[in-house]
Amino acid sequence: MENFVVSARKYRPLGFDEVVGQEHITTTLKNAIDTNKLAQALLFCGPRGVGKTTCARIVARMINGFEEKAEVNSLNIFELDAASNNSVEDIRNLIDQVRYPPQFGKFKVYIIDEVHMLSNSAFNAFLKTLEEPPSYAIFILATTEKHKVIPTILSRCQIFDFNRIQVSDISRQLKKVADREKIKVEEEALHLIAQKADGALRDGLSIFDLMVTFSSGKAVTFKDVLNNLHILDYDYYFQVVDGLLAENHTQPLLLLDEILRKGFDGHNFIVGLSEHLRNLLVSQDARTIQLMEVPEATKQKYLDQSGATAPSLLLSWLSIANQCDINYKSSKNQRLLVELALMKMAHVQSVFKGNGAAPTQEGLKKKVN
Ligand SMILES: Nc1ncnc2c1ncn2[C@@H]1O[C@H](COP(=O)(O)OP(=O)(O)O)[C@@H](O)[C@H]1O
Ligand SMILES: [Mg+2]
């Protein structure tokens, strides 16, 4: 059997131009290196899986002028994972190494990952080295929790804040990988994976690998990803809103039943519905439509449905959904709470039309049917 290398490792960028969604950082770093103005202590902050370690390794290779294509040039790069090596001993070992100038290249680069995990005494042992490092030493510290890094370290570092990666950037990157691997994929499937990745490109690639394994040589489809990731198909929300627009609560209630029977959670449903309503609102204006992170084909569906819906109605629905969301956790009968919200939404229009007058018996009969 061929050795399988996970995509997150196989597609680790080897140059700044391949790093996605961190232009503010890659540009600054590149300029600093080109003009010999790189600080000796850098701190990379940001969520996991967004390119911190990747950029640290690129910096290390570039300042030594090493061949870009060599994946690991470990000669002058020392990595310490502070999550598992956080004692004073570990730091002392590192400081001992720092004393010796590099044998090859100009710089020794020390990458300390999850630096906030260092023990207090380890931090203190490290401070002096960080303050007065030998000219050939560069320290790149990385952390997912900047607020846990002590101020004395923060003030000695040049700080780079990494972004979460946008859904569109993740899905574009997944598409590239799919093309390179000659794997057939539906664009909407990649989009779902990208959403599930929640800003972390590494997670996006891992989920992608899983889906590819599942599809075993066939195309990766939207439906398969929905099922595997247990994501609610957003088509349900379009159908619920169609029902609400017809001032009919029967269809939304039946849909809710179907969704709950599939094992989805009522709270997630109401939060998802709110998101859908918000998407309808922003798609009513060409200037806000770009705030929506959905594939092009889906945008059109939103445009169609939002054209049929008055903004004031959307706002009323949103506030009912929001109330339901707030009360959900404390409710004894959560299903009823969601059902009630749907019924209110279905009939909120006629309440307004009737100018607040109590509905007649005749009117009620009509609505129920
Ligand atoms: N900004 C990015 N551009 C391209 N690939 C990325 C990016 N961020 C993460 N990746 C992918 O995820 C993997 C892990 O990224 P890494 O740099 O180790 O993340 P972390 O921020 O947790 O250190 C990389 O090998 C690469 O495949
Ligand atoms: Mg890392």
Checking if the pLDDT of 357 tops 80, the result is no
Q: Rounded mean pLDDT of 179-203?
A: 95
Checking if the pLDDT of 361 tops 60, the result is no
Contact (Cβ atoms closer than 8 angstroms) between residue 170 and residue 74: no
363 band by pLDDT with thresholds 50, 70 and 90: very low
Ligand 1 atom closest to Cα of residue 8: 27
Percentage of residues in the chain having pLDDT higher than 70: 92
- Ligand nearest to the Cα of 172, by number: 1
What's the confidence (pLDDT) of residue 351?
Answer: 78
Q: With a 6 A CB cut-off, is 57 part of the ligand 1 pocket?
A: no
Q: Rounded mean pLDDT of 321-347?
A: 97
What's the confidence (pLDDT) of residue 70?
Answer: 54
Q: With a 6 A CB cut-off, is 45 part of the ligand 1 pocket?
A: no
When mean pLDDT is compared across 16-25, 38-47, 284-293, the lowest value belongs to 284-293
25 band by pLDDT with thresholds 50, 70 and 90: very high
Rounded to the nearest angstrom, the distance between the alpha carbon of 144 and the centre of ligand 2 is 9
Mutate to test the pocket of ligand 1, among 17, 42, 43, 54 (most ligand atoms within 8 A of CB): 54
Rounded to the nearest angstrom, the distance between the alpha carbon of 48 and the centre of ligand 2 is 7
What's the confidence (pLDDT) of residue 177?
Answer: 97
Q: Rounded mean pLDDT of 52-59?
A: 94
Range 9-18 contact pairs with CB under 8 angstroms and sequence separation of 24 or more = 11/173, 11/177, 11/180, 11/205, 12/54, 12/57, 12/71, 13/51, 13/54, 13/58, 14/58, 14/61, 14/68, 14/69, 14/71, 15/58, 15/68, 16/55, 16/58
Ligand 1 atom closest to Cα of residue 21: 1
Q: Return the residue whose CA atom lies nearest to atom 11 of ligand 1.
A: 202
Q: With a 6 A CB cut-off, is 47 part of the ligand 1 pocket?
A: no
Contact (Cβ atoms closer than 8 angstroms) between residue 325 and residue 274: yes
Rounded to the nearest angstrom, the distance between the alpha carbon of 225 and the centre of ligand 2 is 27
What's the confidence (pLDDT) of residue 285?
Answer: 86
Checking if the pLDDT of 1 tops 70, the result is no
Tokens 């990666």 belong to which residue?
165
Q: For the chain, what is the mean pLDDT?
A: 90
- Ligand nearest to the Cα of 203, by number: 1
369 band by pLDDT with thresholds 50, 70 and 90: very low
| CATH code, residues 167-229 | 1.10.8.60
Checking if the pLDDT of 168 tops 60, the result is yes
Q: With a 6 A CB cut-off, is 8 part of the ligand 1 pocket?
A: yes
CATH 3.40.50.300 domain span(s) along the chain: 7-161
When mean pLDDT is compared across 118-132, 286-300, 308-322, the lowest value belongs to 286-300
DSSP per-residue letters across 278-306: HHHHHTTSTTTGGG--S-HHHHHHHHHHH
Checking if the pLDDT of 112 tops 80, the result is yes
Q: Rounded mean pLDDT of 150-163?
A: 94
CATH 1.10.8.60 domain span(s) along the chain: 167-229
Alpha helices in the chain (DSSP H): 7-10, 23-34, 52-63, 88-98, 120-131, 151-154, 167-180, 187-196, 201-215, 222-229, 235-245, 250-261, 266-282, 296-307, 311-328, 334-353, 361-368
Percentage of residues in the chain having pLDDT higher than 90: 72
Q: With a 6 A CB cut-off, is 204 part of the ligand 1 pocket?
A: no
- Ligand nearest to the Cα of 55, by number: 1
Q: With a 6 A CB cut-off, is 26 part of the ligand 1 pocket?
A: no
Rounded to the nearest angstrom, the distance between the alpha carbon of 224 and the centre of ligand 1 is 26
Checking if the pLDDT of 161 tops 50, the result is yes
Checking if the pLDDT of 353 tops 90, the result is no
Q: With a 6 A CB cut-off, is 50 part of the ligand 1 pocket?
A: yes
What's the confidence (pLDDT) of residue 276?
Answer: 94
Rounded to the nearest angstrom, the distance between the alpha carbon of 83 and the centre of ligand 2 is 11
Q: With a 6 A CB cut-off, is 199 part of the ligand 1 pocket?
A: no
| CATH code, residues 235-368 | 1.20.272.10
**Domain range 7-161, CATH architecture:** 3-Layer(aba) Sandwich (3.40)
Give 287's contacts (C-beta < 8 A, 6+ positions apart): none
DSSP letter at 51?
Answer: S
Q: Rounded mean pLDDT of 194-206?
A: 96
What's the confidence (pLDDT) of residue 323?
Answer: 97
Q: With a 6 A CB cut-off, is 53 part of the ligand 1 pocket?
A: yes
Ligand 1 atom closest to Cα of residue 165: 1
CATH 1.20.272.10 domain span(s) along the chain: 235-368
